Structure 1
């Protein structure tokens, strides 16, 4: 039995927005769904799910479709993505590697 997962409205809005951007870019390029599918190594049905914003679609596949269609990711040009990733990793290096639950404070005020 397949488990269902309910997504937050913001998640659904984000996947729907990215899917619409990919569909728009694909059509502006003059490609059919089958042509995009061939370029990213999936079936046309997967492209249809991406363009509908189905949140269960593999993130790598969705991002591959976006890159192939020229959709900007994270608000930057594709050439800038490596430097954005480097800056993000530098910030991550400053944070603790593990996050622990805060120790519950015991009230000894009787």
Structure 2
């Protein structure tokens, strides 16, 4: 089966549609997701591709799942995603395909991060889990830089500033799972830190 063509303008049109349905101005939505009106306008017109963190914040502000934000499929009582059904959407640094359906507990996605690219720094509610499916990436969490190879996995409070960088020679493929804010279990006393064999101290980005 041939791969689906990437519609680079779909996400921008969808954001504009959801904003219009709610009667919000550009300024209203921009303020709620901590963007300037110029940034949001460029995203809606597809002159700028949003980051994954921005998409998560937009979905939660609209009160929809990430799947509802970026996909145009009708809902069912279950959600099955076959590899041939993936619909990649252009975002900053690469292509995003949603894997989860319209259920509120988690957002699962496949990120193809281009060689030499990094995701913009993100912070949002909930927790995040990622597993490297192909390639090599660095994940920066505050002042820690973690080197992840194929098969390595990482879980962390998504409120920590985080950046994913492709350090390999090819496109990196990453499974990312983000929990709904209601499931955020970060200890009230602050951050948690767990370091595996790849952890090294690094500069904050």
How many residue pairs get aligned? The number is 85
Give yes or no for contact 1:16–1:52 (8 Å, CA) kept in 2.
Answer: yes
Q: Match of 1:97?
A: 151
Q: Match of 1:29?
A: 22
Give yes or no for contact 1:16–1:53 (8 Å, CA) kept in 2.
Answer: yes
Q: Match of 1:42?
A: 35
Kindly indicate whether structure 1 or structure 2 has the higher relative contact order, using CA contacts under 8 Å at least 6 residues apart.
Answer: 1
Residue-by-residue CA offset, 1:48-103 (whole Å, 9 max, x unaligned): 11111235443322332233224542362250425x47xx969x6xxx628xxxxx
Once the 2 structures are TM-superposed, how far is the Cα of residue 37 of structure 1 from its aligned partner? 0.4
TM-score, normalising length from structure 2? 0.33
Which is higher, the Rg of structure 1 or of structure 2?
1
Q: Return the structure number with greater strand share.
A: 2
TM-score, normalising length from structure 1? 0.55
Structure 2 unmatched ranges of 5 or more: 67-97, 110-128, 134-149, 153-205
Structure 1 unmatched ranges of 5 or more: 1-8, 99-110
Q: Return the structure number with greater helix share.
A: 1
Give yes or no for contact 1:19–1:53 (8 Å, CA) kept in 2.
Answer: yes
